[in-house]
Amino acid sequence: MATNLSHDDELRGLLSDIARKRFTNSRQVNPVSNLFLTAKDAVEHQYISGAVIDETFSSTLAEMNLKNAVLTEHGRNKLAELLDHATKEP
């Protein structure tokens, strides 16, 4: 499905969902999907810990398990910054 969300919008949604514990199981996803790339970015930037990101799951799918993911302090700060920015947009 196509999306017009910016990376910041996608990241804000992902971090919010993790904070609310909305991920309850593992997912098989397209490794070039916005969701997967954003989750991978969040791990690389240390916004979240406890996530399992597996790009070797299969030749066409990746596994993403955010069930035990939590926001780091850096992630909580980033989410607050993204939420503040979103409320200031026209």
Tens digits of residue pLDDT in 29-71: 999 999 999 999 999 999 999 999 999 878 899 999 999 999 9
Query: Is 2 a residue whose pLDDT tops 70?
Result: no
Helix (H, G, I), strand (E, B) or coil at 10: helix
Contact between residue 44 and residue 64 where contact means Cβ atoms under 8 Å apart: no
| Alpha carbon 60 to chain centroid, angstroms | 20
pTM as predicted: 0.88
All residues at 6 or more sequence positions from 63 whose CB lies less than 8 Å from its CB, including other chains: 26, 27, 28, 29, 52, 53, 54, 57
Domains along the chain?
7-82 (1.10.10)
